[in-house]
A and B are shown apart, each in its own frame.
Chain A
Amino acid sequence: MNDTAQLVQYILTGITVGAIYALVGLGYNIIYNVTEVINFAQGEFVVLGGLVMVFMTNTLHLSLPVGFFLTVSVVTILGALMDKLTIEPIKDANVLTLIIITIAVSIIFRGLAMLIWGRDPYALPAFSKAPPFTLFHAIIQPQALWVLGITTIVVILLSLFFRFTMMGKAMLACADSPEASRLMGIPVKKMVLISFVLSAAIGAVAGIVITPISLMEYDRGALLGLKGFGASILGGLGSFSGAVIAGLILGLIESLCAGYVSSGYKDAIALIVLLLVLFVKPSGFFAGKRASLKKF
């Protein structure tokens, strides 16, 4: 493998991983946009997506589309339950209390996943049977294209939803001022529920598409969540396009660092970037004017 091929290889790996960080970051942003809560169980949704899909395809031998649909449904229901059982019942909770609750929920999810699936990593077959192909002498897994394609679709659908539908705009209004939203007749609790459902669904999708490439085990959530959080902070909390760009950048930095420096430092990179952003520009680099009007 020559130098160019190597570079292309690193870049492609980075973009693929970055797309997953972007999806996790989007999950954070949806819930944040409605509630101003950072849901630290977001990474757990990804893990559950991967592991439930393993159950659907490897244990139940369901076909890919059916398994995909059922997995997303199951994780979505878990997301809805999380809101109904742990977020909604808390009366007059401030944002910080709710954030700590999400950390508790993430620990519960992780524990349950360990009890059910054990500590071993699981693999999934790739979506398409096509063999890897080469581009500039670099080897590309077709699954990487699935990851990128599905991420793109999710991002487009989300942007359209929040920009053009009454429901989407009402969700943003809830984050802005729950009280004013209620005065407009917007059912705030329902909007929060929808945000958890959407985030869980997106997390599940991320887990399903990445597992064939990088395997999945019960305790991946924390690190995935942290890197996704890095993406959403770097992109400016709440900004969808920001999270996508930042996720890809984070993935690229990580992959290039693993390739040219040492793979041992790969996980540290995301954290260093996160810290730097928080020191230098906590409102993120790709956020619009909207971010400056937010409370924090």
Chain B
Amino acid sequence: MLFLRSVHTYYDSIHALKGISLHVKEGEIVTLIGANGAGKTTLLKTICGLIKPRKGSIQFYGEDITNLPAESIVRRGISLVPEGRMVFSTLSVEANLEMGAFSRRKDKNQMKRDIKNLTSRFPILKERMNQLAGTLSGGEQQILAICRALMAHPKLLIFDEPSMGLSPILTKEIFKVIVGLRKEGRTILLVEQNARAALQIADRGYVLETGKIILEGDTEYLLNHKEIQRAYLGKGYREVWEE
């Protein structure tokens, strides 16, 4: 459903993405791992239209979306749960959810139904409905950010570091939610520093290093790859959420 062909993105003169090609198939969880500064967030912003690539093309369901503005890309069905959550902290939880549906704001009834469905699924949001989003805890904000993205009815849901700043237990919760979303038939592109956790729920993965994809393959293959184990998994070290 999503195809990137040799995408080059620059920040002024800094060559941040050096010819990225990747694809995501319908119903998959694809993960993108890489260290700080590898270009993960830049890649996601390029897909979502916040930054324009200088070269290369991005296709979504066969349509070229390379030069579309961010607003149009949301309408085509790509939603990003941004790094650091970026909830609208000065708006109420309810208004945050409504803003998620801005691209489909004509259908007020559907919007109300969606809010109802999401709040019955995540009761914590229901309790906090009229609270300002900035007063929520980190985990609650992450849930809100996910729900806000879901309000747009995305076909492809992109997560940028969903575990950032969260405790291991909360991280586990968030990953459960992501797996649940895939079971509902959503396609997911997951960017994580926490490579092990990401590879455990994903079907395939890409490894990004200084703006280039240096490795790709099934998660099985990546998990057993010597270089990956050394560089990203901290071989022999068990994470809390494995139990």
Contacts and interface: CB of A to CB of B under 8 A. Distances in A.
Interface of A: 166, 169-170, 172-173, 175-177, 179-187, 289-290, 293-294
B152 interface: yes
Given A166-B102, A169-B95, A293-B132, A183 B88 contact: no
B70 A183 contact: yes
Most-contacted residue by chain B among A185, A293, A294 (CB, 10 A) = A185
Contact of B132 (A180, A181, A182, A290): A290
B41 to A, nearest CB: 11
Interface residues of B, number: 29
B86 A166 contact: no
Contacts of B100: 184
A184 B102 contact: yes
A173 B95 CA distance: 9
Interface of B: 48-50, 69-71, 74-75, 79-80, 82, 86-91, 95, 98-100, 102-103, 105, 132, 134-135, 148, 152
Secondary structure at the A interface, as helix, strand, loop or mixed, is helix
28 contacts: A166-B102, A166-B105, A169-B95, A170-B99, A170-B102, A172-B95, A173-B88, A173-B95, A173-B99, A176-B88, A176-B89, A176-B91, A179-B50, A180-B86, A180-B88, A181-B88, A182-B50, A183-B50, A184-B100, A184-B148, A185-B71, A185-B152, A186-B71, A186-B99, A289-B135, A290-B90, A290-B132, A293-B90
Given A166-B98, A293-B132, A183 B89 contact: no
B102 A185 contact: yes
Contacts of B82: 179-180, 183
Contacts of B80: 183
A185 B70 contact: yes
A289 B148 CA distance: 22
Nearest to B86: A180
A207 to B, nearest CB: 30
